[in-house]
Homo-oligomer: A and B are copies of this chain.
Amino acid sequence: MKVGYYQFRPLFGKIRHNTNKVVNALQDVKADLIVLPELAFTGYYFQNKNELKSLAEDPAKSSTVEALVKLCRKNYFHLVTGFAEKSRDKIFNSALLIGPDGIEHTYRKLHLFNEEKKYFDAGDIPLQVNTVKEVKVGMLVCFDWVFPEAMRSLTLQGAEVIAHPSNLVLTFCQEAMITRCLENRVFAITTNRFGTDKRPHGELKFTGKSQIVAPGGVLVQRAVSQREALFITEIDPAESHQKNITPMNDLIEDRRPEYYQNLIN
């Protein structure tokens, strides 16, 4: 399976520009699954809910999604992208799994980061694993990384690869994802954006360093911070089936769920 990330700098509010940028960058790429950043088309740092409302879209009526589906069809690959998703009167910080036939799954960020809480609604559908060319792919968005339960839940559902669109402003995630891939023995593709959203109410700088980590916590590749980066590599998802960290320790079978009860109370 050929997987990769496209780290770029979306321009705030310039949906058409950002869509063209992605479509152009991926025009001739051969891959099976490419992960884009969180909120890849709208930009990130909204002033308020009204501004978000004016930029968020119903994926079913979005010309961006239409362009991405067309791209997937042309190149016969799948994309996971962050997307400001309008759904009736709610707006979610979502990740879309898009293939040649359209949107295959929508994940709505369960753990909103900081000011996102002012204008996004918290995710309201269960964590789920989807199949992409026979590979089981789970989605997380950015700040979900800090809650070990999220990636664990996907692992327990059989995820082999975690697609993780991000707009990271802190610096902890990359190292933590190594721990996550060690404890779960799955692949993770964390795609971050770079650049700064300079807005009237303030500015946020994003930290780049998109990365792919293999089971066992092995860093496959990490981008630099402030530069565009398209990276594609071949992985063997079956590596994630090997849950043994020692000859006698399967990290999933060795769990003692009867002693973890207070995690869900």
Contacts and interface: CB of A to CB of B under 8 A. Distances in A.
B182 A146 contact: yes
Contact of A263 (B113, B115, B264): B264
Given A117-B248, A148-B183, A247-B114, A260 B153 contact: yes
A261 interface: yes
Nearest to A246: B114
Given A156-B263, A259-B126, A263-B153, A251 B183 contact: no
A129 B217 CA distance: 30
27 contacts: A111-B255, A113-B246, A114-B246, A114-B248, A114-B249, A115-B248, A143-B249, A146-B183, A146-B245, A147-B254, A147-B255, A148-B149, A148-B152, A149-B255, A149-B257, A152-B260, A152-B263, A153-B259, A153-B263, A172-B182, A176-B183, A179-B179, A258-B264, A260-B263, A260-B264, A261-B264, A264-B264
A86 to B, nearest CB: 22
Contacts of A50: none
Interface size bucket, A side? 35 or more
Contacts of A111: 254-256
A226 interface: no
A39 B149 CA distance: 30
Contacts of A260: 149-150, 152-153, 263-264
A265 interface: yes
B146 A251 contact: yes
Contacts of A256: 110-111, 122-123, 147
Interface in A153-183: 153, 156-157, 170, 172, 175-176, 178-180, 182-183
A262 interface: yes
Interface in A176-194: 176, 178-180, 182-183
Contacts of A157: 262
A153 B149 CA distance: 12
A127 interface: yes
A249 B179 CA distance: 21
B262 A153 contact: yes
A171 to B, nearest CB: 11
A245 to B, nearest CB: 7
B146 A148 contact: no
A113 to B, nearest CB: 7
A46 to B, nearest CB: 14
Contacts of A246: 113-114
Contacts of A257: 149, 263-265
